[in-house]
Every structure is written in C-alpha cells, then in structure tokens.
Amino acid sequence: MERAIIFDMDGVLVDSFGPHRDSWLRAASEAGVEMTPEQFATTFGRTSREIIRQFWGDGLDDAQMRAIDDHKEALYRDMVRDCFPTMDGAVELIDALRAAGFRLAVGSSGPPENIALSVACLDRADVFEAVVTGHDVTHGKPHPEVFQLAGERLGVPKERCAVIEDAVAGVAAANGAGMASIALTGTTTREALCDARLVVDSLRELSPAVLDSLLAG
C-alpha cells in the first residue's frame, strides 16, 4: 500500500528561520513598520499576507500587499542563494524514503519562487511528485488545505500520509487534515509542539522504518 510523506519546507528541509527573520525585519524597517525579532518569531509558519496584515495593517489593497510580499521574498532569496542552509539530515532522509518507495511532496506556505529555489538547491527536484505553495491555497496554516491538496495531488489517502513540520500552525494543519503529524524542534520548543503525534529534535531520528511504524499505528 502506498505511503506518502509531505514535507514543510522552511525549518524542515531548509534552515531558513534566520534568513526569513532578517528579510522580514529589513522589509519592515525600509517601510517604517515596527517589527521585532520576538514578534517575527510568533508568525513563523503563517502566510506572507497574514504577516503583512498584522504589521502593515488592513488598509492595503492587493497590489500593495503583493509588492511588499515580492520585495521581502526577493530579499530572502538573495540571502540564501549563494549559501543555501540545508537542514541537517534532510538530503539523507529524502533519499532513504525515496529508495524505500515512499511518495514525497512539499506542502509550504512559501511562494513558488522560494520553493523552486530550495528544491533546486537541494538537488532533489525529481523526487517530489507534488508541490503545494502558498499561492495554491486560499487558507494558510493552521487551516489544513495545503496538506489536503498535497495528498490529493499524490493520490494517497490521508491515513497513509505523514507530515513533517516545525511550526505549531503546521502541526495543527496536519492534524486537521487527518494525517500523522511529525514535529521537528528548532524554531519552536518541544512543549509547544506537543500536539504532534511524534516530536523529534533532528531529521536523523527519522527513517523509513520509523515512518512505516507511525503510519501503521
């Protein structure tokens, strides 16, 4: 029976917390908008539009929001392009899962340009059979839409899908989709991620056998 693993991108395959924080803080500073590192930390895992509404306010039209979003993400891509921060154990886990016959997908709140850059830098573009980005969904995490859509595109039932996430909102989205949630600490504490079915401190704790056991349970 087919099994699928859906990876969040930021904080799971890419150690992107620092570059995202720095690019948001720079974009906010350039616009005269107050945002502290502590405030940014509470937004991780949410869509750019939600973050812009929170800090820039609700009075922006779509074109203004898109311009802010595009500028921030361009700053981020410039920061990571030449020194890509691959998460420890990510490539090894992807390769092991693929070799074991797992179907693989990405379910991220990020824009398609960021996801394309990340997949290319990981040099694993051919292994992800479905990629869902923030532009593909109406509702951001903690709504389950991103993972529901990834499962649909893979054609694998939800009870045979596991999601690897690092954010509280992402764990809630995975649980809401009826999928097995795996939380990776790093950007969030183990205590905050306690609603996940499994919490790990490193991707190296995961293997095809561990994930098979999780989906069997």
pLDDT (average), residues 77-95: 95
The pTM for the full model equals: 0.88
Per residue in 39-74, pLDDT (tens digit) is 998 887 677 888 999 999 989 999 999 999 999 999
Distance, in Å, from the CA atom of 70 to the CA atom of 187, rounded to the nearest integer, reads 24
What structural domains and CATH numbers belong to the chain?
Answer: 4-15+85-216 (3.40.50.1000), 17-81 (1.10.150.240)
Per residue in 88-126, pLDDT (tens digit) is 999 999 999 999 999 999 999 888 999 999 999 999 989
Instruction: For residue 64, give every residue at least 6 positions away whose Cβ sits within 8 Å of its Cβ, in sequence order, or none.
Output: none
* 3-class state of residue 139 by DSSP: coil
Is pLDDT above 90 for 37? Answer: yes
pLDDT (average), residues 31-35: 97
Q: Which of 27, 37, 35, 110 is nearest to 75 (CA)?
A: 27
Distance, in Å, from the CA atom of 35 to the CA atom of 55, rounded to the nearest integer, reads 7
Per residue in 130-172, pLDDT (tens digit) is 999 988 999 989 999 999 999 999 999 999 999 999 999 999 9
Within its chain, how far is the Cα of 93 from the centroid?
Answer: 16
pLDDT (average), residues 10-18: 93
The pLDDT assigned to 45 comes to 63
